[in-house]
Each structure stands twice: as structure tokens, then as C-alpha cells.
Amino acid sequence: MTVYNIQNQWGGSSAPWHDGGVLNIGNRADQLPTALHIQSGDGGLSFTGTMTYQGEGPIGLRATRVTENCYQAENQWGGNDAPWHDAGLFLLGARDGQNAVAFDLTSKDGQTVTGTMTYAGEGPIGVKGTKSPGLAFNATNQWGGSGAPWHQGGQWVIGCRPDQPVVGLEVSSHDNGKTLTGTMTYKGEGPIGFRGTRTMANTYSVVNQWGGNDAPWHPGGEWVLGCRGKQGVVAISAKGDGANLNGTMMYAGEGPIGLALVPSVAKVHATA
């Protein structure tokens, strides 16, 4: 997974930059993206275009919206009649109820991205982003009993320590998901304080505390939790083994539902 924390700029090259949320535009474990050129002709319900991974030429990309700002992506190489390959889930945009409709991004090293993007009903706006230490997960939810089917739950981004996975999360909200408080656990440690403030549709700015109630709070990264935008996450209780996380969660106005989080990794590589 390749997650970027981005900023947006509008109003000219001297205008201020604004929080743009979190993007995920690639799911290869050992290959970073260096270009993304896609457009939507249906208001952000689907995208087509090309993308490029390090060491390769452009390959086809098509993506279909599955939840708020989350798209199931596929890649094609070898010509117009070649097969399409699963590319995993992408996060494309971060606004609540306003889909992105175009991206033109490039990167020299995969660590930073620059370019433009467009939200529905607007013109292009500037993008600059830095690769995030957060890890992307494919989320699924279950309701209706242990034999009921699992449903798409979006793509989540959690943690800020790439070499130390999250193995526990116990948080709740008293304001319909605007803020989440509780504890989290990184592998090899005990629980630490967690406080997340929603900044965009499903994006939270997180801080952590350790050393007691009077200890300082430290930056904990930009997280993506949930996939329903205006229906905020009000509780998460999940434990893991250093790879996957499982447990329950609640959206505002509902009871608990099952939650399973699996790392977002696409295993098929191109030879373009």
C-alpha cells in the first residue's frame, strides 16, 4: 500500500495550502507509484486512465466506487485486449459527499507527489503530498449473525509506525464520530492513550499519550476510519496479531457490527 497525506491549494500559486486528507494510489509491497492520470465521466462513480509504478511504463487503470472515497481498482498491461488484474482498493479523494473526478499526479521517487486533482463541480486544485507511515487495510463488516455475509467496509489507514503494527484499538465517541477517544496498542507495548479528531469525511488527526494522565500528547498520524462519511464511527473494539485485526465497530445510530481488517496488498506485478 502507498498512502499519502496530501494538501490542496486553490486561488493561485501564492494561496495557502489546506488539509486534503489521505490518498492511497498503489498496493504493491515493494514498488511505489510515480504517476496517476485518471478521469471520471460519471461524477466520480468510476475512473479510467493510466498509472505508473517505479521501473515500469504506464499501465491501464480502471476503478469503481465501492464506498465513500474508496474504489476497487484494476490494472491492464499488454495491450487493449489484455486481461485486467486486481490492483486492490484505492482511496481517491477525502471530502464528505463530493466525489473526486480527476487526478494528474507525478512523483520522482514515490515518496512525494505533486500535481492537480478535481472535485465534482469545481476546477482543478493543486496537490502536494508526502508518503505516510500509516498502513492501509481492506475493511469488511458483518451484521445479521455469525453466518451472515461480510460486506465491503472501505479502506482504512491506521497507525504511524510502519515497522510496528497496531494490535489493539479500543475507542468510542460521544459526538457522533466527530472525535474518538480511548486506547490503542502497538506490537510489543502496552496500551497508550488515543484521541482522534475528524478532519474530513473519514479522516482523523490522531494524537497519542503515554506516561500518565498529565503526560504530553504526541502526533499519532492521519488515520482513515470507517467509510460512510456523514454517518460517523462511534466505537471500535479490535485486536490483532501484527497483521490482521478483528473485532466490532459501531456507526452512529446502529448497534455493533463485525469488523475485519486485512492489509491492502496487490500481488500481481506488471512487465510493462
* DSSP string for residues in 38-104: EE-SSSSSEEEEEEEETTS--EEEEEEEEETTEEEEEEE-SSTTSPEEEEEEEE----SS--EEEEE
Please enumerate in sequence order all residues whose Cβ is within 8 A of that of 42, keeping only pairs 6 or more positions apart, or say none. none
Judgement on whether residues 16 and 118 belong to the same structural domain of the protein: yes
pLDDT at 270 over 80: no
Domain end among 131, 161, 178: 131
Q: Percent of the chain having pLDDT more than 70? A: 98
Judgement on whether residues 106 and 181 belong to the same structural domain of the protein: no
Res 253: pLDDT: 97
Which residue is it, cell 484505492? 90
Query: What is the number of domains present in the chain?
Result: 2
- In this prediction, residue 210 has a pLDDT band, given cuts at 50, 70 and 90, of very high
Res 266: pLDDT: 80
pLDDT in tens, 130-169: 999 999 999 999 999 999 999 999 999 999 998 999 999 9
Judgement on whether residues 96 and 211 belong to the same structural domain of the protein: no
Res 238: pLDDT: 99
Domain end among 81, 99, 131: 131
Judgement on whether residues 9 and 113 belong to the same structural domain of the protein: yes
Judgement on whether residues 21 and 92 belong to the same structural domain of the protein: yes
Res 271: pLDDT: 52
What is the domain range of residue 197? 135-263
Domain end among 113, 131, 149: 131
Res 1: pLDDT: 74
pLDDT in tens, 89-123: 999 999 999 999 999 999 999 999 999 999 999 99
Judgement on whether residues 8 and 127 belong to the same structural domain of the protein: yes
Instruction: Tell me the whole-structure pTM to 2 decimals.
Output: 0.94
Res 162: pLDDT: 87
Mean pLDDT on 197-224: 97
The answer as to whether 271 is a domain residue is no
Compute the mean pLDDT over every residue in the chain, rounded to the nearest whole number. Answer: 96
Which CATH number fits the domain that encloses residue 7? 2.40.128.450
